[in-house]
């Protein structure tokens, strides 16, 4: 079998073509590397390696800081919440339904109802909230259980 026949063979031909392509591309790469200058490439590779090492060091530093912050948050979340006397007194004087920070509305019937129940007392130590009760009933009518008419 001659070389021409081997190249034209359907089994061996593609293998020879691939081997030749690898040899040619390797030679071209080596030639380009030598042509562009080996010293400049070595310098650029060193600079790239140093920049990569600096980036890894920065990431490690930020991970340490992040872990420290997470540790502090976890530590603080396990501590009991202490409410000082001033806040406790303020909470006792204003119902939650009246606090905008807690989602309440000072002008709402719910706030009026809670305030009346907390502070509106008669001589029998019972709240007198009939007027507010009627407003609450009107507001909640239809939201609660529907009335069943006979």
pLDDT confidence of residue 145: 64
Confidence band (pLDDT; 50, 70, 90) for 107?
Answer: confident
pLDDT confidence of residue 149: 63
* Selected residue with higher pLDDT from 124 and 89: 89
- Answer whether residue 45 shows pLDDT above 60: yes
**Annotated domain spans of the chain:** 3-77, 85-140
pLDDT confidence of residue 150: 62
Confidence band (pLDDT; 50, 70, 90) for 53?
Answer: confident
Cα-based distances in Å from 72 to 44, 58, 62, 78: 42, 21, 15, 10
In 3D, which of 136, 118, 134 has the Cα closest to residue 126? 118
pLDDT tens for 19-37 read 777 787 777 767 666 666 6
Share of the chain above pLDDT 90, in %: 0
As a whole number, the mean pLDDT across the chain is: 76
DSSP string for residues in the chain: --HHHHHH-TTHHHHHHHHHHHHHHHHHHHHHHHHH-HHHHHHHHHHHHHHHHHHHHHHHHHHHHHHHHHHHHHHHHTSPP---HHHHHHHHHS-GGG-GGGT--TTSHHHHHHHHHHH---TTS----HHHHHHHHHHHTTTSSPP---
- Answer whether residue 123 shows pLDDT above 60: no
Of the spans 3-7, 33-37, 67-71, which averages the highest pLDDT? Answer: 67-71
Q: What is the mean pLDDT of residues 77-104?
A: 79
| pTM for the predicted model, two decimal places | 0.35
């Amino acid at each position: 079998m001659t070389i021409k026949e081997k190249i034209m063979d359907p089994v061996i031909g593609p293998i020879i073509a691939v081997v030749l392509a690898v040899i040619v591309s390797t030679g071209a790469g080596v030639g380009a590397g030598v042509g562009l200058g080996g010293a400049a490439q070595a310098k650029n590779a060193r600079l790239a390696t140093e920049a990569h090492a600096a980036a890894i060091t920065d990431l490690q530093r930020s991970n340490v800081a992040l872990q420290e912050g997470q540790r502090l948050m976890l530590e603080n979340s396990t501590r009991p919440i202490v409410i000082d006397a001033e806040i406790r007194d303020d909470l006792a004087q204003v119902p939650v339904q009246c606090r905008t920070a807690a989602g309440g509305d000072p002008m709402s019937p719910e706030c009026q109802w809670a305030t009346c129940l907390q502070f509106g007392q008669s001589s029998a130590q019972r709240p007198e909230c009939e007027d507010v009760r009627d407003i609450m009933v009107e507001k909640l009518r239809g939201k609660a259980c529907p009335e069943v008419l006979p």
